[in-house]
Amino acid sequence: MTKESISTMKLFDAQALAQSGVVTSVPVDLREISLRGAFAVHLIQAGAGTTKIEYLVAPSKDGTYLEPSGASDIVGAQAAGSNLIPFTPSLTPWLKIRVTENGVGAITSLDLWLHVQ
């Protein structure tokens, strides 16, 4: 059995998010780390709101990041608590994670890690 490493990046650390607010992560360079194409986000969320989490892609770090045509949200309505959610992004060298509060209430704290293998 071969050993395959998992790359983990913390993209949000105790991030507050107002009702209907939006935050987008820093760009993640996938050119050297997406060996198997397995992706997941691990989050810990506190507050009264719910969040939609989606991924955005671009051909270059400073390019325009878009949600791919036909892409599914990572999660549509995440409530307070902890969750680990696998997802399959489109083939791309650069990725960002966008979190939107669904208009329910403020998020007092959001920690979110991206795991890639």
What is the domain extent for residue 18? 7-116
CATH number of the domain that 52 lies in?
2.60.120.380
**CA–CA gap between residue 98 and residue 32 (Å, rounded):** 22
pTM above 0.85, yes or no: yes
In terms of DSSP bridges, do strands 51-58 and 94-101 run parallel, antiparallel, or are they unpaired? antiparallel
Residue 31 inside a domain? The answer is: yes
Query: Residue 39: what pLDDT?
Result: 96
Query: Residue 3: what pLDDT?
Result: 67
Domain tally, the chain: 1
What is the mean pLDDT of each successive set of 10 residues along the chain, which is 117 residues long?
Answer: 82 98 97 85 97 97 94 96 96 96 97 96
Residue 98 inside a domain? The answer is: yes
Q: What are phi and psi of 65, to 5 degrees?
A: -90, 130
Residue 16 inside a domain? The answer is: yes
Query: Residue 109: what pLDDT?
Result: 98
Query: Residue 2: what pLDDT?
Result: 62
